[in-house]
C-alpha cells in the first residue's frame, strides 16, 4: 500500500529530510512546523515502562467456551458453549527492564484481556501457581530486592537472598523458580495460573471459590540453565521471536482452560488457607474442570499501540466474577489501575486496545486524551434523560440459614487473614512434596545446580546460613547438598510454629475450625 508523506496535521510534504533555513547556510526557522513537530514528538516517544513486567511479547487471538459452567456461575459467557471472544495476550518477565533477556530466571507474567459482551475481563496471571508473598505490604520490599542495588546499580545476590531468607513463605515459589520451570522455552510454551482464589457467583447469591489454570496444549517446555544463559547472550529476544514466528507460520499456540472449585464448606475444612497464594489446591481433591480454549492467531501490527499500551488489571472483572478476600489480590485491585493512570493517563480504558466492546455509559468525562465521546449524554444522574440501571439478579433471597452461614464464613475469613502473618510447618509441606515426591534425581540435580549458580554469590554469612536453614526446613538432605556445593557446613532447620498454630488464630475468633 503506498501512502503520501504528511505532517501530523495531514498536509503533504515533499521532502522528509528538509528543514527550512534563513538563506542557504543560515539558522533554522521557527515557522517550520514539520521539522519542529518531528523533533518535539521524537523527544516524547517514551512513556514510563512498567515498574515490573517491563519486557514482554504479545499477540491477539480468541477464547472459546467449550463447556457449560452454569451449575457454578450465572456469568452469561460461561454458559454459552461455542461463544468466542477476542483476546489480547501479553507475556512478560518480571524483574528486568524492557531490554533485558527473555530467558532470564524469573516468573513469567501471563496476562489476557477477554473482550466479553459484559465488559472486559482481564486474567492477570503468572506462569507459576503460587507466589512469593501473602502479605501485600511486602511486595515493594520484595521487588526492590530482585531489582538493582541503589548504589552499585547491580543485581545483588545478598539483598535477593536476604529478603527471601527473612520471609520463608517464599520457599514454595523458590522451589519452582529455581527448577527448570524458572526458564521456560519461550513465552508460548508455558501454563498460566490465577494463583489467587476468586469467587464465581450465581443469581441466587451463592458462590464457589475458584482457581483458573491455562494449560499449554503442547506442554510446558523449559530450558536448562546453561541453554537459557547462552541464549540470554546470543538472542535476548528469543521469547518474542519464537512467539512471533510461530504465529506468522500459522503454528498457532493454544491452551486449554480449566477451573478448580471449592465450596465455602470445603474452604473452611481445607488444610491450607484459601487466601494464601503460596499454596496450591491439590488436583486430586479439587480436579481441573475444562471450560475453554484459548488460541493466539494474530501478531500485532504495531507493538507499542497494541501491546505496550495494553492495560491489564485483576480489578477488570465482569458481573458474577468477584475477588476473594486474599489481601494480595485486594491490593492488586488498587495498584494496577493506579499505575495505568500514571503510565497511560486517566483515560487509559479508551485507548483502542483497552476499549471494551461492551458499551460504556457512565459519568466520567473529559481529562487528557478523551478519545471516546459519550456525546450529549448527561454527565450527572439525570431524571430527564436517565441511564438504565441493571436490576440486581432476580431471586436473591438469603434465607435465615444462608445469612447464618455467610456470617459464620465472615468469621472464617477474619481468622484466615490473621493466620497469614505466621510461618508454620504448613508452609514447608508443599515444597517438601516437590523435593521428595514429585521430582526425580534429574530435577533435583537441576534445582541444586540452578540455586548454587545464584546463591554462591552471597557474601553475607548470616544470609547464607539463614537461607540454608529454610531449605533444611524443607528437607535436610536438600539443604546439605546446596551447602556442600558452596563449601558451607550443614545448617539445622529453621524453627517454625507447629501446623496447629494456624488453627489457633481461627479458634481465637470463637470459630470452630476442623481439619
User: Min. distance of Cβ 2 from ligand HEM in angstroms?
Assistant: 35
User: Min. distance of Cβ 61 from ligand HEM in angstroms?
Assistant: 15
State the CB neighbour count (10 A cutoff) for residue 486. 14
Residue 293 parent element (H or E): strand 289-298
Beta bridge partners of 357: none
User: Min. distance of Cβ 215 from ligand HEM in angstroms?
Assistant: 16
126 interacts with ligand HEM by CB under 6 A = yes
The one segment of 18-26, 226-234, 334-342, 429-437 that binds ligand HEM by CB under 6 A? 334-342
Find how far residue 36's CA is from the centre of its chain: 41
Nearer to ligand HEM, 109 or 431 (CB): 109
348 interacts with ligand HEM by CB under 6 A = no
Residue pair 126/107 in contact by the 8 Å Cβ criterion: yes
Contact string (CB under 6 A) for ligand HEM, positions 81-100, x = contact: ---------x-x--------
Catalytic residues: 53, 126
Contact string (CB under 6 A) for ligand HEM, positions 21-50, x = contact: -----------------------------x
Among 33, 139, 252, 439, binds ligand HEM (CB under 6 A): 139
Among 171, 311, 463, 494, binds ligand HEM (CB under 6 A): 311
Among 332, 444, 466, 506, binds ligand HEM (CB under 6 A): 332
Nearer to ligand HEM, 74 or 88 (CB): 88
Among 64, 102, 103, 125, binds ligand HEM (CB under 6 A): 125
What letter does residue 434 receive in the DSSP assignment?
Answer: I
Nearer to ligand HEM, 115 or 464 (CB): 115
Buried b (16+ CB within 10 A) or exposed e, 82-115: ebebebbbbbbbbbbeeeebbbbbbbbbbbbbbb
Task: Name the nearest CA neighbour of 353 among 87, 109, 92, 93.
Answer: 87
The one segment of 12-20, 67-75, 332-340, 363-371 that binds ligand HEM by CB under 6 A? 332-340
Residue pair 354/113 in contact by the 8 Å Cβ criterion: yes
Within 8 A by CB and 6+ apart from 369, the residues are 345, 347, 350
User: Min. distance of Cβ 49 from ligand HEM in angstroms?
Assistant: 8
109 interacts with ligand HEM by CB under 6 A = yes
331 interacts with ligand HEM by CB under 6 A = yes
Give the Cα separation of 132 and 112 in Å (integer): 22
CA atoms within 13 A on the CB side of 232: 17
Task: Name the nearest CA neighbour of 166 among 133, 192, 198.
Answer: 133
Tell me which residue has cell 556445593. Answer: 485
Give the Cα separation of 25 and 285 in Å (integer): 81
For 293, the grid coordinates are 480454549
453 to 48, 372, 448, 486: CA distances (angstroms): 32, 52, 9, 10
336 interacts with ligand HEM by CB under 6 A = yes
Among 63, 121, 131, 161, binds ligand HEM (CB under 6 A): 131
370 interacts with ligand HEM by CB under 6 A = no
Give the Cα separation of 48 and 277 in Å (integer): 29
Helix (H, G, I), strand (E, B) or coil at 321: strand
60 interacts with ligand HEM by CB under 6 A = no
191 interacts with ligand HEM by CB under 6 A = no
User: Min. distance of Cβ 136 from ligand HEM in angstroms?
Assistant: 4
Contact residues for ligand HEM, defined by CB under 6 A: 50-53, 56, 90, 92, 109-111, 124-126, 131, 136, 139, 195, 310-312, 328, 331-332, 335-336, 339-340, 343
Amino acid at each position: 500500500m503506498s501512502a503520501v508523506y504528511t505532517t501530523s496535521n495531514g498536509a503533504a510534504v515533499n521532502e522528509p529530510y528538509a528543514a527550512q533555513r534563513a538563506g542557504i547556510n543560515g539558522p533554522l526557522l521557527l515557522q517550520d512546523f514539520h521539522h519542529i513537530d518531528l523533533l518535539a514528538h521524537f523527544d516524547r516517544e517514551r512513556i514510563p515502562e512498567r515498574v515490573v513486567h517491563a519486557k514482554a511479547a504479545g499477540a491477539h487471538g480468541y477464547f472459546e467456551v467449550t463447556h457449560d459452567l452454569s451449575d457454578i456461575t450465572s456469568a452469561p459467557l460461561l454458559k454459552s458453549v461455542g461463544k468466542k471472544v477476542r483476546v489480547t495476550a501479553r507475556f512478560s518477565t518480571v524483574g528486568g527492564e524492557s531490554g533485558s533477556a527473555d530467558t532470564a530466571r524469573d516468573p513469567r507474567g501471563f496476562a489476557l484481556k477477554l473482550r466479553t459482551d459484559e465488559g472486559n475481563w482481564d486474567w492477570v496471571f503468572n506462569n507459576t501457581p503460587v507466589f512469593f508473598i501473602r502479605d501485600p505490604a511486602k511486595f515493594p520490599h520484595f521487588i526492590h530486592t530482585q531489582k538493582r542495588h541503589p548504589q552499585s546499580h547491580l543485581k545483588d545476590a545478598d539483598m535477593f537472598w536476604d529478603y527471601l531468607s527473612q520471609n520463608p513463605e517464599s520457599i514454595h515459589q523458590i522451589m519452582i523458580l529455581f527448577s527448570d520451570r524458572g526458564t521456560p522455552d519461550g513465552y508460548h510454551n508455558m501454563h498460566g495460573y490465577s494463583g489467587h482464589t476468586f469467587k464465581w457467583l450465581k443469581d441466587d447469591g451463592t458462590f464457589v471459590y475458584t482457581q483458573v489454570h491455562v494449560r499449554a496444549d503442547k506442554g510446558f517446555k523449559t530450558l536448562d540453565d546453561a541453554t537459557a544463559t547462552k541464549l540470554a547472550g546470543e538472542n535476548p529476544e528469543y521469547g518474542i521471536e519464537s512467539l512471533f514466528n510461530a504465529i506468522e507460520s500459522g503454528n498457532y499456540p493454544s491452551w486449554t482452560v480449566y477451573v478448580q472449585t471449592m465450596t465455602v464448606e470445603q474452604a473452611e475444612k481445607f488444610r491450607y488457607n484459601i487466601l494464601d497464594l503460596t499454596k496450591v489446591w491439590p488436583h486430586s481433591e479439587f480436579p481441573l474442570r475444562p471450560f475453554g480454549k484459548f488460541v493466539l492467531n494474530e501478531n500485532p501490527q504495531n507493538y507499542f499501540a497494541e501491546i505496550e499500551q495494553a492495560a491489564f488489571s485483576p480489578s477488570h472483572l465482569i458481573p458474577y466474577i468477584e475477588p476473594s478476600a486474599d489481601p494480595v489480590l485486594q491490593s492488586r485491585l488498587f495498584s494496577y489501575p493506579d499505575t495505568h493512570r500514571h503510565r497511560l493517563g486517566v483515560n487509559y480504558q479508551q485507548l483502542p486496545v483497552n476499549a471494551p466492546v461492551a458499551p460504556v455509559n457512565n459519568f466520567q468525562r473529559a481529562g487528557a486524551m478523551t478519545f471516546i465521546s459519550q456525546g450529549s449524554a448527561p454527565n450527572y444522574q439525570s431524571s430527564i434523560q436517565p441511564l438504565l440501571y441493571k436490576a440486581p439478579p432476580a431471586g436473591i433471597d438469603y434465607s435465615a440459614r444462608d445469612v447464618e452461614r455467610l456470617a459464620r464464613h465472615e468469621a472464617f475469613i477474619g481468622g484466615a487473614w490473621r493466620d497469614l502473618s505466621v510461618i508454620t510447618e504448613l508452609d514447608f509441606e508443599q515444597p517438601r512434596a516437590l523435593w521428595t515426591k514429585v521430582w526425580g534425581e534429574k530435577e533435583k540435580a537441576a534445582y541444586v545446580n540452578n540455586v548454587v549458580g545464584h546463591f554462591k554469590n552471597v557474601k553475607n554469612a548470616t544470609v547464607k546460613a539463614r537461607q540454608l536453614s529454610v531449605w533444611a526446613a524443607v528437607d535436610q538432605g536438600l539443604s546439605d547438598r546446596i551447602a556442600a556445593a558452596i563449601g558451607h557446613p550443614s545448617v539445622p532447620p529453621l524453627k517454625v510454629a507447629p501446623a496447629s498454630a494456624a488453627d489457633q488464630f481461627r479458634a481465637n475468633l470463637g470459630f470452630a475450625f476442623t481439619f
